[in-house]
Structure 1
C-alpha cells in the first residue's frame, strides 16, 4: 500500500519527513534521501505492508501554501501564502516578507546623487517596476521633468513625504532660468513660461479623441505642453492596493477659475486583465485634479515660497494681491489584484493656452497589503 506520511515539517532552513504511529505519538525521523522500506526494517501499515515514505528532497519542491513558490524556489514560509520571493516588505510587521533573509524596513531609493523619475516617486524595485518612459508634447521637451530634494525655498512647505527627493512634472521648465523672458518678466514664473519660440500653436493642439490625455475622451479643449510619466508595474503577491502622494500647483488659480484655462493632472490606470482605463485622482465631486477643483487652497495654506506659484496677479482688474496656489499634499489610493500587471500614467497639461503653467509633485508610492478605500484624500 502506498501512503503519504501524515507528519510534515517545512521550516526556512530544515526540511524533515516523519513517520507517525497511529497508536502513539512516537515519531521516527528519516535520514534525508534514504528509503528505509527498501532496507527491510521500515514502518508498516495495518496489514503489515511497507509504507512508501516521501523523501525530504521531494517535499522541498512542494508548494504547500499555493503561492507559486516552494522551498526549492525560495519560499521561506510554507504556512503563509503572502510570504514569498514575489512579495514586498511590509514596514513594521517584523517579518521577512520577500524571503531575502532579512527583515527589511522601507527605505527611500532617491537619496543617491542622480535619482531618476521612478526613484523620486519611490518606485525602484525591479521586481515590480517592469519599465518606464517619459513622454513630452512640447517644444522644449525634457526641461519639464525632474527630481528635486525641495522645490522652491529650502524652508517652504514642500519637503519630501518619503526619502530624500520627489519627482516633478510641469508644463513650464522647472529651472526658472529656462523660461521665455517675454513671459517671465523679472525672472519670475508668472505670468507664464510657455514652451515656444514664436507662437502658442507649435505646442498646442485641439486634440482628437484618441490622443486626448483624458481617459474619458476629448472635450474639444486646446491642450498644450503635455508631460507624462508612464510606469508599467506588476503588483507584489501580497499587495491588494497602492497609493501615492502629490501636490498640484498652478498659476491659473484663482484668477482664471471657470474661465476655460483648466490645466489638469491625471493619474491614468490601465488594467489589461479587466479592460479598465480611468483617471483615479479626483475630488469628492468627481472632478479631475484641475484648476476648477475643490482641493485648491484659497487662500494658500501651503508655503510655496520660491516655486514661482506664489506670484503676483497678472490681471490688473483682479482684486487679490497674490495669485497662484496649490492643493496641499493629497493621497490617491486604489485597489489592485496580487500579481497583476498594469500601467499607471501620470499626465499634466495646460488647457486653453500654453502660457500660465502648472506643476505636480509626486512622492511616496506605496503598496498596501490591506484593502484600500479608492479615491483621493487630504493628508
Structure 2
C-alpha cells in the first residue's frame, strides 16, 4: 500500500502517557544471606569455615595461603539445610561444587555461574560478597568489548558486543553469556548484512552511547549518519524489500487502523543464558522516525520490537518494549518527545526539543521526531536461556524510514521482583 501525504489533527489522545525460609543457609537478592546467628566457624582441612552452633553458618575460614574461602555450614540446631564437607558435592544445586570453583556451596546465588553485584553503600546491613567466585569482592567495573568495532562490521557477535554483552559461551559451558548471534528478518529468518545495520559511536553531536563506546543501530532505511559513507541522503532508502511480520504484528494502536504488510525489516537475534543469580535484565533504546508528525495514527506506522522467547509474563505477543498504554514503539508511543514544535500540529509540544535530531538526518528533508532514551526491563530466572530479537520495519510501504539505537544491556541481580516495563531514563549520558 502506498501512502499519500496527509495532514492530521487532534491526535493528542493517541499519545496518552503512555521468601523467607527456615533458619540456615539461604539467599536473597543475589547476595549470600543467613537468617540467624551461629557460632564462629573454625577451619576444616579444606579451609572451609566450620559449622556454627545454630542457624547461620560460622564465619569463613582461610585456605592454605590465608585467603577467605566462605561461610561455614549451617548449625544443626537451626534445622536449616546442611552443607556437605565433600568438595565434589553440589550442596546448593547451582551446578557447581567446591571442586568446580563454588566459593560458597551453601548459597545458589554464589558460584562461577553468577554475576558480581555491587554492595549498596546506602545499606548499613549490606555485606560485600564475591558472587562470581573470582576471589575479588565487588569487582563490578564495566568491561568494554566494543572499542574497535567498525561502522560497517557485519559480524553479529560484534552486534552483541555493541549492546555490551561481552561473554560468549557454548552449550556445554555452565556459565552465563551469549550462546548464539545472528542478523535476521523480523520473523527470525536469516538476513544478509546490508546498510540497514550499523555500529555507531554516536548519533549526531548530542546523542551519546550509554555504555561502552559503541551502540547497535537498526533502520528501515540506512543506519548511517548524513556524513558517513553509504548514507541515504533522503526520506527513504531500501535494500531489503517485503518481509513477513512475526505472529501478532504489526501491533495496532487503539483508534488507529493499521496495515499487515511490512518492508525493509531487519533485526539482531541473540540466544543468551542468564547468570545464576539474575532476576531480570534491561537495555536502553532510542527510536527516530521520518513519519512524525504527518503520519501519526495511520496505516504506515513503522515499529520496533524486542521479541522474547519464551515470552515472559507481561509481554505482548512476546514483545517487551511498549509504553504504559501498551502502545508499540512507533510514532504513536507516549514518549515521542524529541521534535521541533510546529504550530500546524499544536498537539505535539516537543518537550525535549529538536537538539537530539541535529546531525542525524532526521528533520533535514522533512519534519521528523524521536523518543528520548528509554529503558526496557523484563524478568528472567537465574540460569535460564532466552532468545531476544530486536527488530524494526516499515509498515504498509517502504517509505519514510525509521531508526532505532540499542545499547547498555545489563543483568538485574540485586533481588526483588522485575516486571516487564519501559520508562524514560532520567539522566542519560
Q: TM-score, normalised by structure 1?
A: 0.72
Larger strand fraction of residues: 1
Per-residue deviation, 1:241: 0.7
Structure 1 residues 139 and 231, CA gap change in structure 2 (3 angstroms): closer
Cα drift, residue 117 of structure 1: 0.6
CA–CA separation in structure 2 for the residues paired with 1:273 and 1:377 = 18
- Determine if the alignment matches structure 1 residue 373 to structure 2 residue 411: no
Are 1:99 and 2:133 counterparts?
yes
Could you say which structure has the larger radius of gyration?
Answer: 1
Q: Show the 5 A alignment for 1:294-373.
A: 294-297=334-337, 298=348, 299=350, 300-301=352-353, 303-313=356-366, 323-369=367-413, 370=415, 371-373=417-419
Residue 210 of structure 2, aligned match among 161, 173, 186: 161
- Contact (CA 8 Å) 2:259, 2:395: kept in 1 or not? no
Unaligned runs of 5+ in 2: 1-39, 54-63, 65-83, 121-127, 151-157, 169-175, 252-257, 338-347
Where does 1:72-111 land on structure 2 (aligned, <5 Å)?
72-92=99-119, 94-103=128-137, 104-111=139-146
Higher helix share goes to which structure? 1
Aligned partners of 1:285, 1:273: CA distance in 2, in Å?
Answer: 18
**CA distance 1:11–1:296, change in 2 (3 Å):** farther
Q: Is the 8 A contact 1:333 1:375 kept in 2?
A: yes
**Counterpart position of 1:148:** 200
Residue pairs, 1:26-105, within 5 angstroms: 59-92=86-119, 94-103=128-137, 104-105=139-140
Q: Report the counterpart of residue 167 of structure 2 in structure 1.
A: 125
1:170 to 215, 219, 225: 219
Contact in 1 for aligned 2:280/2:418 (Cα 8 Å): yes
Aligned residues: 308
* Partner of residue 112 from structure 1, selected from 108, 124, 147: 147
Runs of 5+ consecutive residues of structure 1 not aligned to the other structure: 1-6, 21-31, 33-56, 197-202, 206-210, 314-322
Give 1:95 deviation, angstroms. 2.7
The DSSP-based 3-state class of the residue aligned with 1:289 is: coil
Aligned 1:129-278 pairs, distance under 5 A:
129-136=178-185, 141-152=193-204, 155-156=205-206, 158-175=207-224, 176=226, 177-179=229-231, 184=233, 189=234, 191-195=235-239, 203-204=241-242, 211-216=244-249, 220-271=259-310, 278=318
Q: Aligned partners of 1:273, 1:261: CA distance in 2, in Å?
A: 28
Aligned-partner Cα distance in 2 for 1:377–1:70:
40
Partner of residue 40, structure 1? none
Q: Which secondary structure state, in structure 2, belongs to the residue aligned with residue 119 of structure 1?
A: helix
Q: CA RMSD in A?
A: 3.3
**Displacement of 1:167 after TM fit?**
0.9
Query: TM-score by structure 2 length?
Result: 0.64
After TM superposition, give the deviation of residue 108 of structure 1 in Å: 3.9
In 2, distance between residues paired with 1:97 and 1:349?
40
Q: Distance in 1 between matches of 2:43 and 2:261?
A: 62
